[in-house]
Structure 1
Amino acid sequence: MKKWLVILSLCIVILAGIVAVVYFNAVEPVKKAEEFAVKQALEKTALTKVKEFSSYHGEETYYIVQGEDDKGTKLIVWLPEKKGKILVKKSTEGLTREQAVKKVLADIDSAEIISVKLGMENGIPLWEIHSRTKENLLNYHSVVFESGEWLKKIENL
């Protein structure tokens, strides 16, 4: 009986080790991207304090860094993964997360918002909103950050 407990314990430790290695290998590229984007945003823009990082994978990959400048003005920085122009906007120049969600919910019949994040397509900053209908179908909507106009609708998948 004691032998089985030792073998079982050893298997659990080995399995936990494998899971930890896989997890850390999976998270490493995201951490490197965040470090790169934050460093670039702090060096190349007026951003002095970082509050949030996200990435957007559309036709091109963009890193979005949100924070404040030295005067406390809230800024959003869109950094292309590859070469390209860095875009900086005051958060007051566009829709808030809540306004973008209200825009989508006013026009469609979604039961649940799954995710809301900033992105960029063809040089246009946007809010990308994923939702689910009452029938469990997926919707993808892109709303232009500055104007609130529809950029893309993919519904009922």
Structure 2
Amino acid sequence: MGTGRKWKVWLLTVAILVGAVILASWMFTTVMDDEWGSQREAVQSAYEKTILTKAVKVDRFVGEKSYTVIQGEDKIGQPVLVWVGQDEVRSEMASNGITAEQAQNQTLAKQPDAEVLRVTPGMMNGTAVWEVFYKQLPEGEVKEQYYYDYYRFADGQPVDTWRLSIQ
């Protein structure tokens, strides 16, 4: 193969790779546009209807109803959580409840071998909760199991545990 032909093959390969990256980026942006737009609307609604002045973290919680949950601050820097649902906006000072770390520690206290994957604020039956998503290998099992533990935001009382049966 001649030197000129090697360069053409190399340039064609690079062009295909660049095109694939651009296409993948465009597809990702197209798919995520609705979600990002929904999050922006929820944050704007929280700014307008609550004492939230700075959004720090935005999560999606899907239960019996879907909520966008914004963790942020009020005008004097105090931590605030805001749950924005389809027909409601609810806010709580973070100091009025337990922290994500406390919820995680409760799960680890009852399941010391668990690996916590995510802790997210949520809403169950109109009650603000922390959702702790974790996995563990049950004794005598060969396959890991995934679980959700729910703790009341206000006082950390356990609400429920869900075991995922299909993986």
TM over 0.5: yes
Shift of 1:134: 3.4
| Runs of 4+ residues over 3 Å off in structure 1 | none
**2-side partners of 1:156 and 1:14: how far apart?**
39
Paired position in structure 2 for 1:115: 118
Q: Secondary structure at the match of 1:95?
A: coil
* CA deviations over 1:13-72 (Å, ceiling 9, x no partner): 221121111111122122112211111111111111222211111111101112222233
- Separation of aligned partners in 2, 1:94 and 1:139: 23
How far 1:74 sits from its partner (Å)?
Answer: 1.7
Tell me how far 1:110 sits from its aligned partner. Answer: 3.6
**1:113-152 deviation line (CA, Å, top 9, x unaligned):** 1111101122111100111113522111111111212222
How far apart, CA to CA, are the structure 1 residues paired with 2:124 and 2:114?
Answer: 26
Structure 1 residue 89 corresponds to structure 2 residue 88? no
Q: Is the 8 A contact 1:110 1:131 kept in 2?
A: no
Give the letter for the 2:77 counterpart.
G
TM-score if structure 2 supplies the norm length?
0.85
Moved more, 19-28 or 1-10: 1-10
Count of residue pairs the alignment pairs up: 155
Aligned-partner SS, 2:114: strand
- Paired residue secondary structure (1:55): strand
| Alignment match of 1:153 (pick from 150, 161, 164) | 161
Superposition pairs of residues 38-117 of structure 1, within 5 angstroms:
38-80=43-85, 82-83=86-87, 85-117=88-120
1:119 & 1:60 partners in 2: Cα distance? 10
Secondary structure in structure 2 of the residue aligned to 1:155? strand
| Structure 1: gaps spanning 5 or more residues | none
Tell me: CA distance 1:155–1:108, structure 2 relative to 1, closer, same or farther (3 Å).
farther
Relative distance call for 1:126 and 1:9 in structure 2 (3 A) is: same
Answering whether residue 134 of structure 2 is matched by residue 131 of structure 1, we say yes
Distance in 1 (alpha carbons) for counterparts of 2:136 and 2:120: 19
CA apart distance, 1:156: 6.7
Aligned equivalents of 1:96, 1:156: Cα separation in 2:
25
Assess if the C-alpha contact under 8 Å between 1:142 and 1:152 holds in 2.
yes
Name stretches of at least 5 consecutive residues in structure 2 with no aligned partner.
Answer: 1-5, 139-143
Q: Distance in 2 between matches of 1:110 and 1:37?
A: 36
Contact kept, 8 Å, 1:111 with 1:132, in 2: the verdict is: yes
Task: Pick one of 16, 40, 45 that aligns with 1:35.
Answer: 40
The two structures, once aligned, show a CA RMSD in angstroms of 1.6
Cα distance in 1 between the residues matched to 2:24 and 2:12:
18
